[in-house]
Amino acid sequence: MKHIYLFAILIYILNTSICSSQRENVIIPKWDKYHSSSESNTLLEDWAKAFPNLTSLYSIGKTLKGSPLMVLEITNKKIGPAETKPAFYYDGNIHAGELTAAEVALHYAWYLLYNYDKSERIKNLLDTRTIYIRPKFNPDGADLALNTSTVLRSTPRPYDEDFDGLLDEDPGNDLDGNGIITNMRVVNSNGKFKVSKIDPRVMEKRELGEIDDVYYDIYTEGIDDDNDGNYNEDGVGGIDMNRNFPRNWGLEFEQKGAGAYPLSEPETRATIEFISSHKNITGVFHGHTSGGFLFRLPSTTSWDNYDMSDQRLIMELSNMYNTTTDQRVIPSYSNPRLHRHGTLISWSYWDFGVVAYVPEFWGGFVKDYDENGNVSKYERLMWNDENLEGQGFVNWTPVKHPDFGTVEVGGWNNKFTFQNPPTKFLKIEVEKYVEWMLWLAETSPLLKITDIKVSPIEKNKVVNLSAEVQNIGYLPTNITQRAIDFKLSQPVRAILELENAELISGQNRTDLGHIVGTRNSNAASSDSKRHLIYSIKLNGPNAKAKFTIYSDKGGIKTKEVNLN
């Protein structure tokens, strides 16, 4: 059977290559480019065709422009439907320019599919769990950031950032026509900056009282489109979709870019509707850039508001990121007066009862050459010269400006230096997070009917049915104490259905409470188990029992037995 499966994949690859010799190799991508939303969707479609027994591909909504919000569902469908297994949700690229997050999600999807027949670990994961992957949270914004010089935070929905009653009327402008918005320096005797004597690419601050040099003002590249005396103060969009979620949402004066109201954006509304309707989701991985660290909870409220057992859980799960990537873990919330509002990871905990994470990918654009604990402007340029042949920095070039006459345009290509890795480093970057991503999904609770027996009490008339249920997963079926305290997760339930038989003792529907996993017990411990005994009257031949365990997070398991 395995050989037939592999042969089908090879035939699919051959057909694909014949149809389009220029198409990316979907089975072994090079991971040396950033994918547009269309290219990302094509990869997902191709994988869904190549691995039909492991995937389902669907849209969970549409953007303002009508672009689909695609999710790839991955699990071994032959062993059970996706909704019957514990699941984990991964997304990326909510912020338009944070393109690496989409690539991490795409690479993870590919890694799972490609290695299913090669790795016992991956096979076990996809046989017993479900993975939901949404590479392009914000396809319209991501495409603008990737394919144009546009710089925007999130959605391209027009927004009045400077509160002048106009929308997106003063974006940056690509004055030198190189497809990148950098900076411009304008000579001004009262300017605050001067050219460095060490490296003319660097602008240093003017010293107090200094008068014997040429001084400059620095602006982002562009013109005053709305003639209000300000430059590039109201560009494309302005809403930050990761401030648009309902938990601790804030008005504009509290949280810049929060939107008109919670879930005002179709992308954020689709997210909450999808997660809320998939109770089997046991955690949320919300990919961002940059910095090379993990933002853990808390996010929009004080750490003191969390139950202590949940604090320990959050720390444990987050610290595995440090173990697997050797990168820092820091709390997202750090100042009660300056904290964020309306983030997805906060909603995921407080309103859905699971732990969520914001990995900030790409911390590689730094090297402390002199090992003094600081990475200076000069050291960044040294790294750029050594690794990118200087291409990450646009040298200062004179251009004509309608207001200032001749100015010089130049500076960092931020999108592909600070915000995202240059493509030559992309493959290494996306591979870095796979181990932690796998581990997160593997920690879910996992219910199993470990034993079911029929014992005759009165021949062909009465039997006892005994069943043992165990959580063989790591986490408890409630995941967090928050989920118990505020009834965010249903207790485990046992349902007994009889055919040609009737119940004498026991209940057809039994609440078993929540069941701990191996994190809180060992395999032999009774804490992770529940025992049920039923007395059943047989009403004739072919008497049967169907025993089902239901858990929001631990999965759904069924066994059928003959009672005669």
Between 9 and 319, name the one with better pLDDT.
319
Computed over its alpha carbons, how large is the radius of gyration of the chain?
Answer: 28
Report the sign of the C-alpha dihedral through residues 379, 381, 384, 385, in that order: negative
Mean pLDDT of 346-353: 98
Condensed to tens digits (0 to 9), the pLDDT of residues 179-215 reads 999 999 999 999 999 999 999 999 999 999 999 999 9
Condensed to tens digits (0 to 9), the pLDDT of residues 12-50 reads 444 444 344 467 898 899 999 999 999 999 999 999 999
pLDDT at 73 over 70: yes
Confidence category of residue 9, pLDDT binned at 50, 70, 90: very low
330, 363 Cβ separation under 8 angstroms: no
CA distance 136 to 514: 35
Q: Are strands 281-289 and 355-361 parallel, antiparallel or unpaired?
A: parallel
Condensed to tens digits (0 to 9), the pLDDT of residues 394-420 reads 999 999 999 999 999 999 999 999 999
CA distance 261 to 242: 13
User: Which tokens sit at 293?
Assistant: 């660290």
How many residues does the structure list for the chain?
564
Mean pLDDT of 280-299: 97
Which string of b and e fits 319-358 if b means at least 16 CB within 10 Å? ebbeebbebebebbbeeeeebbbbbbbbbbbbbbbbbbbb
Q: What is the pLDDT of residue 22?
A: 60
- What percentage of the chain carries pLDDT values higher than 70? 96
CA distance 57 to 228: 48
Q: What is the pLDDT of residue 347?
A: 98
Q: Average pLDDT over the chain, rounded to whole?
A: 94
Q: Where are the alpha helices (DSSP H) in 335-393?
A: 344-350, 377-388
Confidence category of residue 340, pLDDT binned at 50, 70, 90: confident
pLDDT at 114 over 70: yes
Q: What is the pLDDT of residue 24?
A: 86
pLDDT at 110 over 80: yes
Condensed to tens digits (0 to 9), the pLDDT of residues 235-251 reads 999 999 999 999 999 99
Task: Count Cβ atoms within 10 A of the Cβ of residue 103 and give its class: 0-12 exposed, 13-18 middle, 19 or more buried.
Answer: buried
Condensed to tens digits (0 to 9), the pLDDT of residues 315-325 reads 999 999 999 99
- pTM for the predicted model, two decimal places: 0.94
CA distance 436 to 426: 18
User: Which tokens sit at 3?
Assistant: 């050989």
Q: What is the pLDDT of residue 1?
A: 43
Condensed to tens digits (0 to 9), the pLDDT of residues 413-466 reads 999 999 999 999 999 999 999 999 999 999 999 999 999 999 999 999 999 999
Confidence category of residue 523, pLDDT binned at 50, 70, 90: low
Q: What is the pLDDT of residue 46?
A: 97
- What percentage of the chain carries pLDDT values higher than 90? 91
The C-alpha angle with vertex 532 and arms to 528 and 533, in degrees rounded to 5, equals 155
Q: What Cα–Cα distance (Å) separates residue 66 from each residue in 59, 159, 517, 554?
A: 11, 19, 43, 35
Q: What is the DSSP string of 453-513?
A: EEEEEETTTEEEEEEEEEE-SSS-TT-SHHHHHTT-SPPEEEEEEEESEEEEES-SEEEEE
Q: What is the pLDDT of residue 390?
A: 96
